[in-house]
Amino acid sequence: MTQAEDPICPLCGRPIPPGAKRSAHHLVPRLKGGARGPVVLLHQICHNEIHASMTEAELARGHASIEALRTHPRIARFVEWVARRDPAFHSRSAGRGRRRR
């Protein structure tokens, strides 16, 4: 697959090249009724940042779309930062970690 054919991460807008860490994100968390809801393919680092930034309840209540996720201040800063990285870049997400509610 060439770079032009690589899937695009809807959160950061970078291609997801073969071999890059990736994962599926339920826009409405499975634990909050989204098991059969829409799923998007993201870079693993983008997915990790979403869950490090918000609880499952916060995601279900007000951030159940890519557009809504991008309005969250921490996610907006992250997207701006990660957009300058190579599409295959991965590191651990910093922050408070995942809180469940």
The 10s digit of each residue's pLDDT in 42-86 is 999 999 999 999 999 999 999 999 999 999 999 999 999 999 999
**pLDDT score of 23 more than 50:** yes
Give the pLDDT of residue 68.
Answer: 97
The model carries a pTM of 0.86
Q: Between 91 and 8, where is the model more confident? A: 8
Give the number of C-alpha atoms closer than 13 A to the C-alpha of residue 37, restricted to the C-beta side. Answer: 14
Give rounded-to-5 percent helix, strand, coil for the chain: 40, 10, 50
Using the structure block, give the residue that is written with the tokens 């918000």. 54
- Alpha-carbon span 34 to 19, nearest angstrom: 28
H-run or E-run covering 43:
strand 39-43
> Predicted confidence band at 11 (pLDDT cuts at 50, 70, 90)?
very high
Tokens of 79: 């997207």
> Predicted confidence band at 101 (pLDDT cuts at 50, 70, 90)?
very low
Domain ranges of the chain: 9-82
% of the chain with per-residue pLDDT over 70: 87
